[in-house]
Amino acid sequence: MNPTQTSTTIKLLSPTLHLYHYVLRNSLNERPETTDKRRQFFQENLQNLSTHLTSSTNKRASDFVQLIPIEQELAPSGNVLDFTTVPPECQKPNNDRLYLETGIIHSRLVARRLNDTYLLRFTSYVPSIHQEQALPIFANLGEHIANLPLELGQTVILGGILPNSYYSPSDIPQIAANCLSHYYGTQIDPNNLRVEEFLNSPFCIYAKPVTIQKFNNYAIESIHLSCVFLYQDPTIEQQADKVYRIFQDMLLSYHKIHFFHSQSIILKKILGQQYEAIERLTEDYNQQKWDSQSLKKLPQDSLDYYKKLSFLQDQSKTVGVNLKNYQECLRQIQQQTGQTPPQFFTEFEQEISFYREQMEANIGFLSPGIQLYEKLMLSVQTQVSIDEAAHQNQQNQQQAKLGQILAGVGAAIGVGQIIEAPITATVSHRLDKGKPEPSIASSWLGASLSVLLSIGIGYCISLAVYRWFTQSKVS
């Protein structure tokens, strides 16, 4: 059966779309303004989803679908939709769902807070009273959903009743691919689907990685998970409806594990680069030039390394908690149905265990980096102290020499002024006997003797000052 024949000849009774759209409310170690941005992101997705929806009286859902003010989010879990402006026909007593009708399509919309996560749960279907529908109906059921921006993750399950007498097993991949092609608005290759069985009915899975944020050379990834569930009869559909309630928590853990594991890979690479850098610094310690600026930078690098390592440890714990939740959901599904959940989900449990071991191994390998930083900082601090002491000693010697020079010069000038007149008079008395005025020769000779004598006395005084200055610095 070719794709065109499948789309036109295969019809489903009660075709249904189940959406589980998750957005983190607050992540690990984030600031309040980040929480506000995440909430705005969730609000925008809620508006995008509701733009084409109407009430049973043709009121536009986008006019009244909105979140409660953030200050009213008092409980860690519960409804976050504002019902104050919701028309009565869209509400039911003691119920947090919005009930909408757009032509023959009926919808139910829920927005909840699940501790640190926002959930947008949306179900859109064509009641069985409208008879069987061709596969293109999924384009209408999934309008604006396939292109919703992702953050934590999103799962869509396209379901419908298709008795196994209507197809052969070899047709399943193409039927499921056609359902998804109409949902996405682009052709999906059947070879990219994983075909399994659940509740004795075909269950096909299409996992599409999505890059949600890029920085430097790194990318944080999420998963857009799309499934096609072809119930063989209405009884299976009823059983599946009970399982979908458990899927809400199971898929939350599934997407959280993918999200935080993606972040942990990036952290591990960054920490690995820092670890290699600190190792090189310790190995090449003697070849490095260390100064006070190095002593200021190392504590900052050490703190940054410690913070990233703490984030990695927090992510490992988060994956561990969600692993337990995921395992509990698998147990509940098996208890509810008496059957093992699709192999895709049971295999993921094994992958999670590998994730945890890998993350713990990375933490164990990178943890010694803290000690390396501490030892290097101690060594650098010692080296800088020694260098500063030597520099200070050199400065003291220079100051002492300068003091000696100043003392000598000052002494020489003072002594020269004192002895210049007596010496000149004495020399003139001896050389200029009988002359009324001192001769030029006696004046120059007296001046020269004064200079020599003042220099000698100045040197003796400066030497005494130097010895006193250096002895006082040492003591």
Q: What is the pLDDT of residue 468?
A: 63
Pairwise CA distance, residues 412 & 79, whole Å: 95
> If 0-12 CB within 10 Å is exposed, 13-18 middle and 19+ buried, where does residue 15 land?
buried
Q: What is the pLDDT of residue 110?
A: 95
**pLDDT, mean of residues 193-199:** 95
Q: What is the pLDDT of residue 407?
A: 55
Pairwise CA distance, residues 146 & 196, whole Å: 23
Q: What is the pLDDT of residue 215?
A: 76
Residue ranges of the domains in the chain? 3-232, 265-366, 393-474
Pairwise CA distance, residues 55 & 420, whole Å: 117
Q: What is the pLDDT of residue 404?
A: 55
State phi, psi for 346 to the nearest 5 degrees: -70, -35
How far from 208 is each of 36, 225, 292, 395, CA to CA, in Å?
28, 6, 51, 69
Q: How far is CA 167 from the centre of its chain?
A: 48
Handedness of CA 114, 116, 118, 121 (dihedral sign): negative
Q: What is the pLDDT of residue 257?
A: 93
Pairwise CA distance, residues 296 & 377, whole Å: 10
| pLDDT tens digits for range 248-284 | 999 999 999 999 888 888 889 998 888 887 777 777 6
Distant-in-sequence, close-in-space partners of 141: CB < 8 Å, separation ≥ 6: 15, 16, 17, 105, 124, 125, 126, 158, 183
Task: Classify each residue of 117-137 as buried b or exposed e, where b means 16 or more C-beta atoms within 10 Å of its C-beta.
Answer: bbbbbbbbbbeeebebbbbeb
Q: What is the pLDDT of residue 475?
A: 47
> Which tokens sit at 26?
């607050």
**pLDDT band per the 50, 70, 90 thresholds, residue 381:** low
Q: What is the pLDDT of residue 344?
A: 95
**Beta partners for 210?**
222
Q: Is the pLDDT of residue 122 over 70?
A: yes
The lowest-confidence range among 153-162, 350-359, 370-379, 397-406 is 397-406
Q: What is the pLDDT of residue 307?
A: 85
Pairwise CA distance, residues 461 & 440, whole Å: 31
The lowest-confidence range among 21-30, 305-314, 465-474 is 465-474
Q: What is the pLDDT of residue 452?
A: 65
Question: Could you tell me the end-to-end alpha-carbon distance of the chain, in angstroms, rounded to an integer?
Answer: 102
> Which tokens sit at 24?
């983190």
How far from 407 is each of 62, 346, 416, 451, 468, CA to CA, in Å?
91, 91, 14, 16, 12
Q: Is the pLDDT of residue 474 over 50?
A: no
**pLDDT, mean of residues 50-73:** 90
Compare 378 and 251 and report the one with higher pLDDT.
Answer: 251
Q: What is the pLDDT of residue 240?
A: 94
